[in-house]
Amino acid sequence: MRLVASDIDGTILGHDGKISDRTVRAFHACREAGVELVFVTGRPPRWLHPLQDQLGHTGTVICSNGAVVWDLEADQLVSARTLTIDAVLEVRRVIKGLRPAALFAAETLTGFHLEPGFIENGSSELLSEFTPAPLARTLATDDAVVKFLAIVREGTADDFLAEVAPAVEHLASATHSSPGVSMLELSVPGVNKAVTLAEYAAGLGIGAADVVAFGDMPNDIEMLRWAGHGYAMASGHPDAIRAAGRQAPRFDDDGVAQVLEARLASLGVHLS
């Protein structure tokens, strides 16, 4: 265990925005034992404050499902893989043909753009600062889109993904990560958490065999398969559980902490 790579939401962070004390202690013990830590998330850089505030993490974070690498300490971009505006608008056109009621949003390197109705009843505090408007009007031709979002109000995210992914695969890679919400996350073809994590690990001279990874949703599948020791949360999506070689206890039972404590103990490190 030379590198621990962890998803955030549903893996170490709950709906209350809290990381448990036990999980914080386990991550600190990894760091003190010389184990590298990297967080790999669907979140954009502006939503990484729980890592800083609760974990005191100042290292690299792989964001937007692998499309962005962010230096948390310097608060600056390291690298990004982006969709062109033409590709985004074509993806939108294809999805509209399949699901006319779909609504869309775009995460760029400089902001967030969302269509009217994308958020129901203005219920998202995280997105309340953004004013809805047609994407064709707000996206500039030189905007770099790191993640394109599509949402529908009927059916499941699994069904939506199964319908959309093959129709747009020449334009974008599709996945999903929000339990209970039929929302797809689309990025540059071939980009996912595993691709960027593998590059990051290689830069440290670490191979997949020495990586322990944790995740809970379909956007974690490639990462869990790539890591030498991929753990899906028992409380996670069935597809993530099937894809992973191992299973961590449920999120509510501090599953990540339990696994890290056991692995550290095998290295002779015991948490008090």
Rounded to an integer, the average pLDDT of 35-49 is 95
The 10 Å Cβ neighbour count of residue 53 is 11
> What is the model's pTM?
0.94
> How large is the angle between the packed helices 157-168 and 85-98, nearest 10 degrees?
120
**DSSP readout, the chain?**
--EEEE--BTTTB-TTS---HHHHHHHHHHHHTT-EEEEE-SS-GGG-HHIIIII---SEEEEGGGTEEEETTTTEEEEE--B-HHHHHHHHHHHHHH-TT-EEEEEESS-EEE-TTSSGGG--GGGTTSPP--HHHHS-TT--EEEEEEE-SSS-HHHHHHHHHHHHTTT-EEE---TT--EEEEESTT--HHHHHHHHHHHTT--GGGEEEEE-SGGGHHHHHHSTEEEEETTS-HHHHHHSSEEEPPGGGTHHHHHHHHHHHHTT----
Please, what sign has the CA dihedral across residues 60, 64, 68, 74? negative
Q: What is the pLDDT of residues 43-74, one digit of tens each?
A: 999 899 999 999 999 999 999 999 999 999 99
Q: What is the pLDDT of residues 123-175, one digit of tens each?
A: 555 566 677 888 888 888 778 899 999 999 999 999 999 999 999 999 999 99
- Predicted confidence (pLDDT) at residue 257 exceeds the cutoff of 70: yes
- Predicted confidence (pLDDT) at residue 108 exceeds the cutoff of 70: yes
